Amino acid sequence: MSYVLYRLATAVVVLFGVSLVTFGFVHATPGDPAETILIEQTGQQPSSEAVEEFREAEGMNDPVHHQYVDWVTGAVHGDLGQSYFSDAEVSSLILDDLYNTLELAVASILVALVIAVPTGIASAIHQGQPIDVTSQIGALIGVSMPNFWLGYLLIIVFALNLNMFPVAGSGGLEHLILPAIALGTGMAAIVTRLVRTSMLEVIDQEYIDTARSKGLKERIVVYKHALRNALIPVVTVVGLQLGFVLNGAVVIEIVFQRPGLGNLLVDAIFARNYPVVQGVVLVAAVTFVVSNLLVDLSYRYLDPRIKLGESQQ
């Protein structure tokens, strides 16, 4: 129990740091955002009175730490401020797009697991044989391929030439499949390699010989005794890969012109729409921290050697 509390406490510390960094970066920007925004909004050089008025209205003249406290207090209550360019609440903008991004993330993780776990096991069991060599080379290529290029390749082949899927947009399964494959492949490659290594390591352990010495069939030795142990590190990495998926989602959403947090973020960055940028980064980081926390705690559940309540190491 106390480990959970300790872990929660560090998560809070990390989130505090995250908010500080997010806020800090945006406020350390060269140039006056107020002026930039007014130029953007009106299309002409604003008068210094207009700039001053805007700054006052947006709270930009308050001391920095006040602005930070206001922002964090708001964030905790689900209020991330307002977009500079519309009356929309940042939080509602994010909520609108969050679903799309999560849908893509979950789909691509599924794609990755469906490919990776069986391939990794087969690869480990048949170490050095053709199936292993093929899957290892496949995994290496998968790891090395930029996902935006894979996205275009998929579009060229399946959307433009075979007309099986739409080129872009969102809604429905047919809009999800290509992006999920483009995003899931890289992760599949990583997880395949991991399952293979983990499996090979476990198969070398003496308790596997114990299982064999009992007269168990090899199939049961592999799928009961080895797999359960081999999956422990895999779960951790898959959890941590959520960050990887969020990174990739930004790019893939651009490739497939899919609405989502990625599109929102990139647009906001170019428009210097800071409340939105801050909001998206904060949400991404919180998602990431929380998922890491969950993985860490579930890891302790999966591995009886690590009891809840024990300290690290």
Q: Which stretch binds another protein (CB under 8 A): 75-83, 91-99, 116-124, 150-158?
A: 150-158
CB of 239 to another protein, least distance (A): 13
Q: Which stretch binds another protein (CB under 8 A): 44-52, 61-69, 171-179, 301-309?
A: 301-309
CB of 229 to another protein, least distance (A): 6
* Cα(291)–Cα(204) distance, integer angstroms: 31
Angle between helices 274-302 and 64-76 (to 10 degrees): 50
Nearest CA among 142, 207, 130 for reference residue 181: 142
Which position among 140, 169, 294, 298 is part of the footprint of another protein (CB under 8 A)?
A: 140
Query: Is residue 294 a contact point for another protein (CB under 8 A)?
Result: no
**Cβ-based nearer residue to another protein, 36 or 170:** 36
Angle between helices 274-302 and 261-271 (to 10 degrees): 140
Judged by CB under 8 A, the number of residues near another protein is 78
CB of 45 to another protein, least distance (A): 20
**Cβ-based nearer residue to another protein, 4 or 50:** 4
**Cβ-based nearer residue to another protein, 38 or 268:** 268
Nearest CA among 293, 257, 260 for reference residue 102: 260
Instruction: Scan residues 187-216 and list those touching another protein (CB under 8 A).
Output: 205-207, 209-216
- The DSSP annotation for 251-267 comes to HHHHHTT--SHHHHHHH
Which position among 91, 123, 198, 292 is part of the footprint of another protein (CB under 8 A)?
A: 292
CA atoms within 13 A on the CB side of 1: 0
Instruction: Scan residues 240-279 and list those touching another protein (CB under 8 A).
Output: 243-244, 246-248, 250-251, 254, 265-266, 269-270, 277
* Cα(111)–Cα(107) distance, integer angstroms: 6
Nearest CA among 275, 272, 253, 243 for reference residue 71: 275
Query: 168 by DSSP, 3-state: which?
Result: coil
